[in-house]
Structure 1
Amino acid sequence: MTTPDAVPLNGPRFQTEPARLYRDMRRDHGAVVPVLLDGGIPAWLVLGYRELHQVTGDPSLFSRDSELWNQWENIPADWPLLPMIGHRQPSILYTVGERHRQRAAMISDALEAVDPFELRGQAERFADELIDALCTVGEADLVTQYAMLLPVRVLARLYGFPDADGPGLVTALNDMIDGRERALAGQAHLATSMGQLLADRKKEPAEDVVSRMLADDSGFSDEEVAQDLMVMMAAGHQPTADWIGNSLRLMLTDDRFAASLFGGRHSVAEAMNEVLWEDTPTQNVAGRWAARDTHLGGRRIQAGDLLLLGLQGANSDPQVRTDASALTGGNSAHFSFGHGEHRCPFPAQEIAEVIARTGIEVVLDRLPDIDLAVPAGSLSRRPSPWLRGLSELPVRFTPTPALGGTAR
């Protein structure tokens, strides 16, 4: 399926100007773009909103069964994208049909049982602890010192991990997503941690997500449950951290949100939703595999071809973006949480939203005169075509005393 005009899925433009890059791709190649992954592995990037709706809505034709891939013979054992694409992994990402629906129900039930008031309380507690560590100084990096630490601490507590495991999980998850040569090591650390947690909870169940999944009577093995927990942790941590960082950047650089920075709260949800449309943390996702030869967006797709889901490209498709303002605000028809039976489970989406919104509101409560410490144009992004997040978000503010154990 390799074409001479295939676009390498790497390079600085994914970091510096992704919106223009997707426009150029769409102009030069149409709604379905031939791309090259690490090592020159060919794939298709689906940028069209309607085409992406078709791919994610037809699991029979565009399957999540990675065994269909026609490139496995060309994939080395140390290929850096293996943790993302997977091969013979017994996780929910690569099951299909009734078994997938059973696994999705198990995960949704375990997450839905999370008490929303307890969730917000835990998010506030961890957020306050993180702000306590920096509020007396007067300056901070809200990405590395805050956004990158908060989601995993909350999720680890929900799943049943000891708080002491949080820093190691952060490192492992970040390596899996952005580390390339460190990706396999990060995956191994996460797998070991999940295995130990499952062993502990089988001996002594508790009121947590892991115990509820182990108590499910659908007959899933420990390995299957561990794989699903790894997927949930990875999918819940980094995108939520980037959602916090990208939303704070928008609120600190766009005058429309100035009121929220000085005592208001009505624009926090609006800023978060605009980020999902215009600057979504999950830019591209792998993927779907064609179950048979077909056509999509004017392209001939061969059986076994890999299709990558271009979520940000679809969100910015001019065919559905005749008026950008009409698609922000309360409109949630974006693809940022996916679509179809393999989309992000609704309870997981709600948990991510509570963590992100609470994290943003705690910053605004605790650091009321916060401002960028550098010019907005100098803020850099991580060089990843998959997830879009800030490398740093330097801010300054009037130093304030730490709360310690006192209530806000």
Structure 2
Amino acid sequence: MTSTAAPAPVPLSGPRFQTEPAELYREIRRDHGSVAPVLLDGDVPAWLVLGYRELHQVTGDPELFSRDSELWNQWERIPADWPLLPMIGRKQPSILYTIGERHRQRAAMISGALGAVDPAELRAHAERFADELIDTFCDKGTSDLIADYATLLPVRVLARLYGFADEDGPGLVTALNDMIDGRERALAGQQHLLRSMQRLLVTKHTAPGPDVASRMLADPSGFTDEEIVQDLMVMMAAGHQPTADWIGNSLRLMLTDSRFAASLFGGRHSVAEAMNEVLWEDTPTQNVAGRWAARDTRLGDRQIKAGDLLLLGLAAANSDPQVRTDGASFTGGNNAFFSFGHGEHRCPFPAQEIAEVIARTGIEVVLDRVPDIDLAVPASAVTSRPSPWLRGLAELPVRFTPTPALGDTPR
């Protein structure tokens, strides 16, 4: 009698997250089911939740699947310089790791501060920064829309909304990208962002303004500066890079798929459709860390031990064949994707709305300014960054007819 060994845990790294993540997730689901054992940097074990229903269960039960990272049963083997520490933090007083009533208070504070952003002011900032960025390359006839545009626009807008001076934007872009990439400069990026937020609060204590940071400081719930600094860091990181990738992934889709060709000549309906399709099929946030099991339990036919880390496989769940039967397309307004999370720890609705305005404005402005834009390389040559966490393009080379810069001319 022969026995078949269980498939080995899947390393959550490697080029296939860059080149063919959808096929990789299908293989993991085939070999392991809806909850798969994976290995993080340093062979640290975790579970990747790929099933749509299982992910709904995990995110909908914060008592059993907690955000309290102190529960993790692997802390004793985690070195101080582990590159994923900025993403899987310990004793961080941010909303990410707060639970219960205190989390709900903080979520309300953040939603109130973001919800007070004036939509017209938000769009005006997005248009102005988009125009300024396009002015730097529109007369050249070529550009990398990732390096020159998408990775710069969201943080410039968010920095202005939060209360930063415009000149602080470039340094914040570098720090955020380093931190989110989860590689050798991750901790340095986190420290730059931390110091920037601390300086911002010092300024806003003495000179408050009509900005997000000042509104958070004025909240009557009694949050400390340390808590607000940590929440601002979370808000900036969660708001910038996924939005930048939303812009890049949507532009790639529109430049390579004939269904969206009308948008390249001033159409608007197709922009929203392309953005929605990206959230289903090519979501910027692939995997999120995480939840920790508060006690032994079962999930998707797996025995989960108390303290086990569960990673939220948002991209895999969006393509779960149990809910995407017969290859069904959920574009065209269906918003049941997991791209913004689910449950009480999901991305706040005002933050989602801000991200959508920045992304849609960024796409519309670049199509207005360079209407004959086209890929400068074959579609197959457009590659993504090698990250299992965020799905974004390494570059998006385009060509177009050179146009003059707007300069200070109002739109």
**Shared fold by TM > 0.5?**
yes
- Distance apart, 1:263 and its partner CA: 2.0
Tell me, in whole angstroms, the C-alpha distance in 2 between the residues paired with 1:262 and 1:160: 36
- What residue number does 1:53 align with? 56
- CA separation in 1, counterparts of 2:256 and 2:329? 21
Name which of 88, 91, 95 aligns with 1:88.
91
1:381 to 356, 380, 384: 384
1:179 Cα offset (Å): 4.9
> How do 1:1-400 and structure 2 match up within 5 A?
5-400=8-403
State the distance in 2 between where 1:348 and 1:183 align.
24
Q: CA deviation at 1:63?
A: 0.2
Equivalents in 2 of 1:184, 1:326: separation in Å? Answer: 39
Report the Cα distance in structure 1 between the residues aligned to 2:274 and 2:98, rounded to whole angstroms: 35
How far did 1:265 drift?
1.2
Pairwise CA RMSD? 0.8
Residue-by-residue CA offset, 1:250-292 (whole Å, 9 max, x unaligned): 0000000001111211100000000000000000000000000
Equivalent position SS for 2:42? helix
The one-letter code of the counterpart of 1:44 is W
- Partner SS state of residue 143, structure 2: strand
Shifted more, 175-184 versus 113-122: the winner is 175-184
- Residues of 2 paired with 1:311 and 1:179: CA distance? 18
The Cα shift of 1:91 comes to 0.2
> Structure 1 pair 200/321, CA: closer, same or farther in 2 (3 Å)?
same
Return closer, same or farther for 1:306/1:179 CA change in 2, 3 Å cut-off.
closer
Q: Residue 224 of structure 1: SS of its match in structure 2?
A: helix
SS in 1 for 2:231: helix
Partner Cα separation in structure 1 for residue 72 and residue 328 of structure 2:
39
Aligned 8 A contact 2:321 2:327 in 1:
no
Q: How far off its partner does 1:147 sit?
A: 0.2
TM-score (norm 2): 0.98
Letter of the 2:368 partner, please give it. D
In structure 1, distance between residues paired with 2:47 and 2:182: 23
Q: 1:326, CA displacement in angstroms?
A: 4.1
Contact 2:84 2:182 in 1 (8 A): no
Where structure 2 has 5 or more consecutive residues not aligned to the other structure, the ranges are 1-5
How many aligned positions are there? 406
Q: C-alpha distance in 1, partners of 2:52/2:203?
A: 44
Shift of 1:87: 0.3
State the alpha-carbon separation in 2 of the partners of residues 13 and 134 from structure 1.
32
Cα displacement string for residues 184-223 of structure 1 (whole angstroms, at most 9, x for unaligned residues): 0000000000000000000111000000000011111100
TM-score (norm 1): 0.99
**Residues in 2 aligned to 1:286 and 1:4: alpha-carbon distance in whole angstroms:** 23
After the TM superposition, which segments of 4 or more aligned residues of structure 1 sit over 6 Å from their partners?
none
Secondary structure, aligned partner of 1:36 = strand
Shift of 1:380: 1.2
Instruction: Return 19-28 or 257-266, whichever deviates more.
Output: 257-266
Question: Which range moves more in the overlay, 14-23 or 321-330?
Answer: 321-330
Gaps of 5+ in 1: none
Instruction: Encode CA deviations 1:59-108: one digit per residue, 9 max, x unaligned.
Output: 01000000000000010000000000100000000000000000000000
C-alpha distance in 2 between matches for 1:202 and 1:323: 56
Distance of 1:259 and 1:186 partners within structure 2: 40
